[in-house]
Amino acid sequence: MITTTRFFARELLKNGDKRARIWRERVMQTGSCECGAVRFRITGPMRAVIACHCTQCRKTSGHYWAATSVPRKALMITRADGLKWFCSSDHARRGFCAGCGASLFWEEDGSGQISIGAGTLDQKTGLRCEKHIFVADKGDYYDIPEHMSY
Ligand SMILES: [Zn+2]
Ligand SMILES: [Zn+2]
């Protein structure tokens, strides 16, 4: 899938326009919830995906939560109409859409980082799921490759 912005960047690049490289580096990813009432943009590199099997992630996602992470300042929320925050513990909050129920964000207080549900990203991510955490809490109806657990 190619976004309009990337398409124009490629066209500019063909024509030898220096702006193309800058555009490509700056516009990395967009994402949204299912209904579109929450939209965001990420600039800069994203961390590898980590899948969390803790009880909170299971309950909020309905399965397990697989997320990338970026510095908070690299995330721009471009539409927040549906965005609600839920304090899932005394040190972290989760951003979800009140319209469609999508789980989008997980933010630990004072960390300066924000986790973003990998499934909410619009473009190909180029990322890999690198590890699974809190596997002791995982559901009993699926398996995780041995070497990916910790
Ligand atoms: Zn929504
Ligand atoms: Zn978790």
CA of 76 to the centre of ligand 1 (A): 17
Q: Which domains does the chain possess?
A: 4-148 (3.90.1590.10)
Q: Which residue has the higher pLDDT, 17 or 57?
A: 57
Instruction: Describe the chain by its helix, strand, coil percentages, rounded to 5.
Output: 25, 35, 40
Distance 136 CA to ligand 1 centre (A): 31
pLDDT per residue as tens digits for the range 69-84: 999 999 999 999 999 9
CA–centroid distance, 9 to ligand 1, in Å, is 29
CA of 20 to the centre of ligand 1 (A): 32
- Residues 96-146: tens digit of each pLDDT: 999 999 999 999 999 999 999 999 999 999 999 999 999 999 999 999 987
User: Cα separation of 106 and 88, whole Å?
Assistant: 9
Distance from residue 133's CA to the centre of ligand 1 (Å): 27
38 CA distance to ligand 1 middle (Å) = 6
16 CA to centre of ligand 2 in angstroms:
46
Q: What percentage of the chain exceeds 70 in pLDDT?
A: 81
- What pTM did the predictor assign? 0.81
Q: Going edge to edge, which strands form the sheet with 29-32? A: 29-32, 39-42, 75-79
User: What phi, psi does 20 have (nearest 5°)?
Assistant: -60, -45
Residue 2 has pLDDT above 90, yes or no: no
What pLDDT sits at residue 47? 95
Ligand in nearest proximity to the CA of 65: 2
